[in-house]
């Protein structure tokens, strides 16, 4: 599954600019956290061959719920926050999220 999310800080800054021009309130942190949540959700759908579990951003936490809405797991950042991790290395974050999705799909 392909999703359209920023994959570099330059793309994040561009998306912030575009959203603000469109009258939406956005900043780097909100765009990065939205990117992280959408990416994990897409990785889960791929790992599970369908949309069975969902990633939801809740108070700067990334929680995963099963198809019935039961909580499965909180996916935590490797560093202090997903925002800091993304700023340091977006590729690292995407790789980490893909790995976490695989573990969730395998019930780990």
The answer to whether the predicted template modeling score (pTM) of the entire model surpasses 0.85 is yes
Residue 50, SS3 per DSSP:
coil
Distances (CA, A) of 21 to 14, 31, 34, 52, 61: 11, 14, 18, 35, 28
pLDDT, one tens digit per residue, over 20-35 is 999 999 999 999 999 9
pLDDT, one tens digit per residue, over 52-86 is 899 998 877 899 999 999 999 999 999 999 999 99
């Amino acid at each position: 599954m392909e999703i359209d999310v920023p994959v570099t800080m330059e793309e994040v800054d561009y998306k912030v600019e575009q959203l603000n021009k469109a009258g939406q309130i956005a900043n780097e942190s909100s765009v990065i956290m939205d990117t992280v949540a959408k990416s994990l959700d897409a990785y889960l759908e791929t790992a599970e061959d369908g949309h069975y579990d969902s990633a939801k951003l809740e108070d700067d936490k990334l929680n995963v719920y099963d198809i019935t809405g039961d909580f499965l797991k909180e996916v935590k950042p490797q560093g202090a926050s997903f925002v800091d991790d993304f700023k340091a290395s977006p590729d690292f974050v995407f790789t980490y999220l893909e790995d976490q999705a695989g573990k969730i799909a395998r019930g780990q």
